Structure 1
């Protein structure tokens, strides 16, 4: 498998758990925002800002979907999934939900750039903790 980035939903996040439908809704909101920007600029910005088609396989069982690039030379695939992991804090077990973004091994530089952009957008929207592909962490929630 390729590289993975994670958006972890922390107690300070806007939501504590996420479904695939919620994630798709955020992606559609992103597409809508960029198309409105394009209309203001009188330019087809939406096609450049989101050069993908959303594809969901029947075997994904509501846990993942992928974005298929419209121009295979520049963009191939980005995979999005949702899940949860068990954490133990102060002797108490809790579930921490997350969004996983995967770049397949044959992904392009364009895919990585767009994946980073989508990750930052989603982390900002959900006020989550973003673990980037390179291992660095960005905090989009108020820290004490």
Structure 2
């Protein structure tokens, strides 16, 4: 079955389910004729189809609403991970600037920092004069 329905007010490209949901929910929206519209007279089938489509569109709307709420949270997680990865990449550069550490200690500290984000966060908040003591304390 194919039909064409024109609904004004939608710009650009949108999902068919959104347009159908809007059409069904409008006061003077999509109407299915009560008279026989199929050659075999099976109007009950059409009405059942409209009911099923209406329920499906409502379910899609619910799914879309949940997804709309989740997407910003997912984006925040990715942003947090991106910032964390950037900081992990800067750890070794930071360790190279600390006087009093051997290269072996720098590598060992880097391993400890990569395994613990809290250590990285703390390192970048410390004043330079406290960083050596903090790192040496991790080795104990």
**TM-score, normalising length from structure 1?**
0.24
Structure whose residues are more often strand by fraction: 1
- The answer to which structure, 1 or 2, has the higher relative contact order (CA under 8 A, 6+ apart) is 1
**TM-score, normalising length from structure 2?**
0.24
Structure whose residues are more often helix by fraction: 2
Q: Which has the larger radius of gyration?
A: 2
